Amino acid sequence: MTQIISIMNKLLSNKTLYYQLITLLLVLTPLSVVENQPDKNTFQSDIVSPDLNIPDEYKIGGFAIGTQSYTFNRFSAFEAIEKTAEAGGRVIEIYPGQRFKEDDDTPFNSIDDNQIEELKLKLSEHNMMLVNYGVAGMNNPEEARTVFEFAAKLGVPVVTSNPNTQEQMDFIEELVKEFDIMMAIHNHPKPEDPESDYMIWDPNHVAGLLDGRDPRLGISADTGHWIRSGISPVEALQMSEGRIISLHLKDVEEFDREAGDVVFGTGVGKVSGVLEELVRQNFAGHISIEYEANWFHNVPEVAQNVGFIRGWAEASQ
């Protein structure tokens, strides 16, 4: 018993070993215990999904997996990169207002060319790819152009925003064509105010915004916010087929607007079903784990989520 306690204490004192142990246990645990395994006979889609052309070296089990840096919003962008790497992620999406690094409070959306070079060195140090920038406001053509110009400097293949009207989509579509950078519409929960004009919580409304538009315009699907809006993530993905560029992948406690985030496989998010549907759709975008809980100490939960996806992919081969 003394030896067992000693081993456990060593594990707990070594973060890397601890997270590796969590991931290993998730890989070895039969997924039928966590969620139902995928149906091998699911009909494969012949619709072409948006392709971010992310190299295989940044993928885990066929998926480009990392975090939305808002997961680590109590920390800087540099620290978010470190924590994503510590949790096993290979890609990252950074949000506009995050401070740049520990000794530099510059908001991320205001960093200059020299700081961008610093950022690229930091990403290279952790063998990580910056795949997305957002969620960035694009309420008028001038604001939208600023976002696309900044994204071009960052070298990201896609930006995430929240356009709600056809008028906004018109000028964003022109910028997508000009810069050859994709734009993904990101959903938040259905407003409590019935008079609110915010409609992109509804995948039907988003489908209308995208109908007939450039194929580089698509969706950044927040599965947790769909659940908080009373919508099944798998059904919403099916409705959005051919337009899924990225995900903010979550599992949440229950179908309730105030439901909290939980580790994959322990809530109502049907994460296995989401992954199965992504495979069926030939998904070629990225998955951002956005874990909005335990803000100061959530790397272990993020690591478990990375491990869940890795384990699911191993079991579904």
Amino acid 119: pLDDT: 98
Amino acid 25: pLDDT: 52
Amino acid 31: pLDDT: 41
Amino acid 36: pLDDT: 46
Give the residue ranges of the chain where pLDDT is below 50.
1-2, 4-5, 7-9, 12, 23, 26-41
Quick: pLDDT tens for 250-264. Answer: 999 999 999 999 999
Instruction: Find the domain containing 268 and state its range.
Output: 2-316
Amino acid 305: pLDDT: 98
Amino acid 21: pLDDT: 56
Quick: pLDDT tens for 131-142. Answer: 999 999 999 999
Amino acid 27: pLDDT: 43
Amino acid 220: pLDDT: 98
Residue 245 sits at φ, ψ, to 5 deg, of -95, -40
Amino acid 43: pLDDT: 80
Q: What is the CATH number of the domain that holds 100?
A: 3.20.20.150
Number of domains in the chain: 1
For the whole model, what pTM was predicted?
0.87
Amino acid 1: pLDDT: 45
